[in-house]
Amino acid sequence: MENIQVNRLLLVCQNRTCRKQGSVKVLTVFQALNIPNIKVEKSGCLGKCGSGPIVLVLPDEVWYSHVDVQSISAVVEQHLLD
Ligand code: FES
């Protein structure tokens, strides 16, 4: 059995307001990147609807707002590669 180690969970809000702001595409790109030790999941509303798409990294509790496809690589480089 393969032992997959997951250090962090990255949630991408897929509720209505964030979806209108492009969160489906953001989720698709994060999933396609297959970042080591990061589990990517969609989530319901994270309570910050005006600033979407919202991304939350756990257990760090680091929030990213207005995440678009162009800013994904910055999130990955700053936070997810270590
Ligand atoms: S709809 Fe995404 S935070 Fe509320």
What pLDDT, on a 0 to 100 scale, did the predictor assign at position 78?
86
How many Å apart are CA 24 and CA 30, to the nearest integer?
A: 10
In short, whether 8's Cβ falls inside 6 Å of ligand 1 is: no
Supply the pLDDT for residue 52: 95
Tell me whether residue 3 is in a domain.
no
Hey, what are 49's tokens? 């609807």
- Which of these, 9, 5, 4, lies nearest to 60 by C-alpha position? 9
Could you report the per-residue pLDDT of 13-45, keeping only the tens digit for each?
A: 999 999 999 999 999 999 999 999 999 999 999
CATH number assigned to the domain comprising residue 39: 3.40.30.10
> The whole model's pTM is what?
0.91
Domain of 59, in residue numbers: 8-80
**What's the CA gap between 43 and 2, in Å, rounded?**
26
Dmax over Cα atoms in the chain, in whole Å? 43
Cα(18) to centroid(ligand 1), Å: 5
Average pLDDT in the 35-64 region?
A: 96
Q: Is residue 69 part of a domain?
A: yes
The whole-number average pLDDT for the span 70-78 is 92
C-beta atoms surrounding 46 within 10 Å:
19
Task: Count the domains in the chain.
Answer: 1
pLDDT exceeds 80 at position 61: yes
